[in-house]
Amino acid sequence: MATRTIAGKTVQVNDEGFMTNPAEWNKEIAVAIAGEEGLPELTAAHWKVIDYCRESSAKLAGKSPTLRQITTGTGVSTKDLFALFPKGPAKKVARIAGLGKPEGCV
């Protein structure tokens, strides 16, 4: 398993750059990954989605929620999710939230 240093902390990642141990995640790591993903600032709306995904993942045996699960669980529309996390919001938010790639994402 590969490791990578993000926000001064060494974490385990897979070959696609997704963290493999959600327990290693913290908000500083989220901010650093968001910057890499082209999001210079995480607003309260971003954190609502990130926090939901982390809570949902814990209930889904560690699996990342799908786009549909995110929109249903947060009440954030698909259009708004794409505005918050452009170009593949489920995959992008999973990466920022320190979770694995959602099933069905290419």
Q: Which of 36, 98, 105, 106 is catalytic?
A: 105
Sign for the CA dihedral angle at 49, 39, 4, 103 comes to positive
DSSP 8-state symbol, 56: H
Distance CA 3, CA 10 (A): 6
53 in active site: no
CA 27 to chain centre: 11
* Number of neighbouring beta carbons within 10 Å of residue 33: 22
**Which residues participate in catalysis according to the annotation?**
105
